[in-house]
Structure 1
Amino acid sequence: GVSADETAQGPGVLPEGFGDRGGEEVELLATVKAVRSKNLPEVTDEWVQEVSEFETVDELVSMLRHNMNEMAKATARNDFQDRVMMDLAEDLSLDLPQSLIDTEAEASIHNLAHRLQEQGIGLENYLQITGQSQEDFIADSKTQAIRTLKTRVLLEGVAKVESIEVNDDEVLEAVSALASQAEMNPDELFRQLESDGRLDTLSDDILRRKALEAIMSGVVAIDEDGNTIDLEPAPADSDDDNDFDSDEAKLESDSDKEVEESPEE
């Protein structure tokens, strides 16, 4: 091992996308500034009572297992929905104007650049890191734009056929949820959205979500043996464990288809 203030040296390879030197073999030199270890507390019922609302270790473990289960299930559910919508969008024959595709792609690139900027990353650096050329990036953005537009048309069509509507209470509920996430006053956020003309956009998002729910109500996930996989969230008071494998999911629709740190001596 290496102690604090000692230097370690050895060969390495720069990652792809590291400017013009990506993939180049180099000699790496590193100085260890400090060595630390974590002093973990003993997990006892007393410790659990001190740091949580639970009384025993078993209760805490049960809660953690349940939460991890639900997180995995939510990930699988979102992946499944994405696959369903991707398949449906690909099957949708739709002649989209090139100007509409370009506008959607430009908006997507602008949004990505804005998110990267918030993290201190430029778009050119992002392309280098991901190993993409500007031409490939733009082409991929247009492909994604087509899929996005098709999905939007599909969801709005389902909403129309199923007579799905959005009422004022649903908009207010969505504004309240957004305000909670942004730690804002709901009334203030409502006025801001109204002033910016974004309430209609929010309403459209709710409409498409409801249409997606309508579609997914007719689709089930099954494993390789044909057994139904439960991807629905557990009731709030349920502690049941749910076993599933998202990698084995395939499509079938009803219609056929925390610790203390201390320096190490």
Structure 2
Amino acid sequence: MNVKSVEKQEKSTVAVVIEISGEEFEAAVQKVYLKQRGKITVPGFRKGKAPRKIIEGMYGSGVFYEDAINELYPKAYAEAVEQENLDIVSWPNVEVLEAGKDGLTFKATVTVRPEVKLGEYKGLTAEKEEVKLTDEDIEGELKPYINRATRMVTVEREAQNGDTVVIDFEGFLDGKPFEGGKGEGHSLELGSGSFVPGFEEQLVGAKAGDEKDLDITFPEDYHADLAGKAVVFKVKVNEVKEKQLPAIDDEFAKDVSEFDTLEEFKKDLAAKLTERREAQAKRAFESAIMEQVMDNMEVEIPDPMVDFEADQMVEDMARRIQAQGIPFEQYLAMTGMNMDMFRAQAKLSAMERVRRDLALGAVIAAEGIEISDEELEAEYNRLAEEYKMELDQVKAAAPADDVKKDLAVKKAEQVIYDSAKVGKAPAKKKAAKKAEGETAEGEEKPKRRRTTKKKVEEEAPAEEAPVQEQTEE
């Protein structure tokens, strides 16, 4: 492999012309011939026995060129990128310039990381929420425990809002049952709004054993077959149940927690809620600061860079969903989306990821941030402990360069956040230019880069790799 030329073009694009010797190209053609000759029928020869020259005479001298090119160019392109130290952020568009006995020459046009003019990134100010708890907040924290300790008790009285009725029902349209309109032994909480409007209201006052005909008109925005239609539901009430709440006292605290008194339990709930809300306030503050850093930089973001990031996000999500045993197409159908809709949504997030990556990369360069071997080894040990893996497994899953990059990003973030101050946020500046457009035809993917976290998760036991990260509310 020989890099003949590297030409910088507009919009952070680089055209790399790469040459492969005649000997290497000939070896690739011969390899393809040996692999494919068994599939080619030539009169007068047994299948797989026809000489290469005979096949080339019949189908043309370049009959094996396309596959030989596909065999050679990915490795040659990767070597050229490494040799020229190109920071690629898109797929290459490959164009064959020459292929024959003298060798192979092709041009790979690829987008590289754009230059960033970093603006202010230290000493920025943003508002930060002050965390204060009310009695209502604590009661809200208690509610899930109360709900779990609440019993449903059958009562011999008329149903009220908040009660649960156990019913059999069947819906009729023009005197005929309609699909999906029947249920038996269904528990329905009155006032929950879980049934079509008007259904629950007409069961208030009903008692066990009652049979009622409910006149219902479906909303105009309901399922197409029933939208706006007047129907009759024949309902039989089998049982009426009410919630029996527990007494909220020390005994309750002992039953639902490790504490002996209700006061201790409430203090613990308050402490945990304060911690969560302070973490949320910190994240919101840091997000506002980072948004300013991104707004302050000057950069023209190339479209292919956003496309590349969006496709990585889609592929990562698809892989994680499928790892749970759910085909990605089925997941999309369940969420009411198709691939175009999902990718469009991913592209919005991809733009923000790209902006953040460019800003933090510029801070790393400005601060001269480097990661020592000791820091790298400490991070490997931390990951091994977190994911309960052998150190060698972690190192195999996460290349050192990627781990160092992630650590450098964390240091850059700390530089920004440590210098930030709580105060009034400045007026929002014009953001970096947004990218538009879709992936061009004929482009090939380079090796994908995933974060260290994702790479280690893929090698970790299944339970350590959830479909999506959970954030505390």
Coarse TM-score class (shorter-chain normalised): 0.5 to 0.7
Of Structure 1 and Structure 2, the greater helix share is in: 1
TM-score, normalised via structure 1 length: 0.60
CA RMSD of aligned residues (A): 4.5
What is the match of residue 206 of structure 1? 407
Per the alignment, in what secondary structure is the counterpart of residue 93 of structure 1?
A: coil
Per the alignment, in what secondary structure is the counterpart of residue 164 of structure 1?
A: coil
What is the match of residue 85 of structure 1? 290
What is the match of residue 193 of structure 1? 394
Give the percent of matched residue pairs that are identical in Structure 1 and Structure 2: 21
Q: Deviations over 1:203-255 (max 9, x none)?
A: 21121111111111232344xxx5xxxxxxxxxxxxxxxxxxxxxxxx359xx
Query: Distance between the aligned counterparts of 1:23 and 1:147, measured in 2?
Result: 42
1:219 touches 1:252 (CA, 8 Å); kept in 2?
Answer: no
Of Structure 1 and Structure 2, the greater strand share is in: 2
Q: Is it true that 1:154 corresponds to 2:333 in the alignment?
A: no
Query: Distance between the aligned counterparts of 1:176 and 1:38, measured in 2?
Result: 51
Query: Distance between the aligned counterparts of 1:106 and 1:201, measured in 2?
Result: 19
Cα gap change, 1:98/1:67 in structure 2, threshold over 3 Å: closer, same or farther? same
Per the alignment, in what secondary structure is the counterpart of residue 2 of structure 1?
A: strand
Q: Deviations over 1:132-174 (max 9, x none)?
A: 5543432343343232122112112212222333234433443
What is the match of residue 260 of structure 1? none
Cα gap change, 1:29/1:62 in structure 2, threshold over 3 Å: closer, same or farther? farther
What is the match of residue 250 of structure 2? 44
Give the CA deviation at 1:55: 5.9
Q: Higher mean Cα deviation, 195-204 or 107-116? A: 195-204
What is the match of residue 115 of structure 1? 320
The equivalent position to 2:196 in structure 1, one of 4, 7, 11, is: 11
Cα gap change, 1:104/1:50 in structure 2, threshold over 3 Å: closer, same or farther? closer
The equivalent position to 1:69 in structure 2, one of 269, 274, 279, is: 274
Q: What letter is aligned with 1:149?
A: V
Please identify the structure whose Cα radius of gyration is greater. Answer: 2
Q: What letter is aligned with 1:11?
A: V
Query: Distance between the aligned counterparts of 1:202 and 1:21, measured in 2?
Result: 53
Query: Distance between the aligned counterparts of 1:156 and 1:83, measured in 2?
Result: 18
Give the CA deviation at 1:24: 6.1
The equivalent position to 1:218 in structure 2, one of 419, 431, 454, is: 419
Q: What letter is aligned with 2:250?
A: T
Query: Distance between the aligned counterparts of 1:219 and 1:22, measured in 2?
Result: 57
1:108 touches 1:141 (CA, 8 Å); kept in 2?
Answer: yes
The equivalent position to 1:60 in structure 2, one of 265, 279, 284, is: 265
1:10 touches 1:29 (CA, 8 Å); kept in 2?
Answer: no
Query: Distance between the aligned counterparts of 2:316 and 2:248, measured in 1?
Result: 46
Give the CA deviation at 1:57: 3.6
Q: Which runs of 5+ in 1 are unaligned?
A: 227-250, 254-265
Query: Distance between the aligned counterparts of 2:379 and 2:226, measured in 1?
Result: 47
Query: Distance between the aligned counterparts of 1:31 and 1:87, measured in 2?
Result: 61
Query: Distance between the aligned counterparts of 2:309 and 2:414, measured in 1?
Result: 24
Per the alignment, in what secondary structure is the counterpart of residue 112 of structure 1?
A: helix
Q: How does 1:87-102 map to 2 (within 5 A)?
A: 87-102=292-307
Per the alignment, in what secondary structure is the counterpart of residue 135 of structure 1?
A: helix
Query: Distance between the aligned counterparts of 1:24 and 1:178, measured in 2?
Result: 54
Q: What letter is aligned with 1:2?
A: V
Q: Which runs of 5+ in 2 are unaligned?
A: 1-163, 168-183, 189-193, 198-217, 428-473
Cα gap change, 1:131/1:51 in structure 2, threshold over 3 Å: closer, same or farther? closer
Paired residue total:
218
1:193 touches 1:199 (CA, 8 Å); kept in 2?
Answer: no
Query: Distance between the aligned counterparts of 1:24 and 1:146, measured in 2?
Result: 40
Q: Deviations over 1:3-36 (max 9, x none)?
A: 386347953789x9xxx9799689899999x989
Q: What letter is aligned with 1:219?
A: A
Cα gap change, 1:200/1:23 in structure 2, threshold over 3 Å: closer, same or farther? farther
Query: Distance between the aligned counterparts of 1:83 and 1:23, measured in 2?
Result: 47
Query: Distance between the aligned counterparts of 2:383 and 2:377, measured in 1?
Result: 10
